[in-house]
Amino acid sequence: MQEYELKTYPISAPKTLEGMIELRMYELRLKQKDIAETLGVTPVKLSMILSGKQKPDIHFLKALYKKLNVPADFILEHI
């Protein structure tokens, strides 16, 4: 079943940092407040970053790399 779904409904790779965070939220089955806690930021700050109203800081980017296993090259290409 999973093989069929992967062939029929492929999921394209995220093209933005926000998209990657949302993909990790989906993969880990976590809500936005849970991801915020994991990353050591407030839910408000995460919401502002996801909506593009605030740029991520170094602390946030390090947490993405270490805690959500977002590849460093992806982070560098999308900030």
pLDDT of the residue at 76: 92
6 band by pLDDT with thresholds 50, 70 and 90:
low
The answer to whether 79 and 54 are in contact (CB under 8 A) is: no
User: Average pLDDT in the 57-66 region?
Assistant: 95
Domain ranges of the chain: 15-77
Nearest to 44 by CA among 55, 57, 32: 32
Q: What is the pLDDT of residues 18-61, one digit of tens each?
A: 999 999 999 899 999 999 999 999 999 999 999 999 999 999 99
Global pTM value: 0.79
CATH of 15-77, one of 1.10.260.40, 1.50.10.20, 1.10.10.10, 3.90.1150.200: 1.10.260.40
The answer to whether 78 and 16 are in contact (CB under 8 A) is: yes
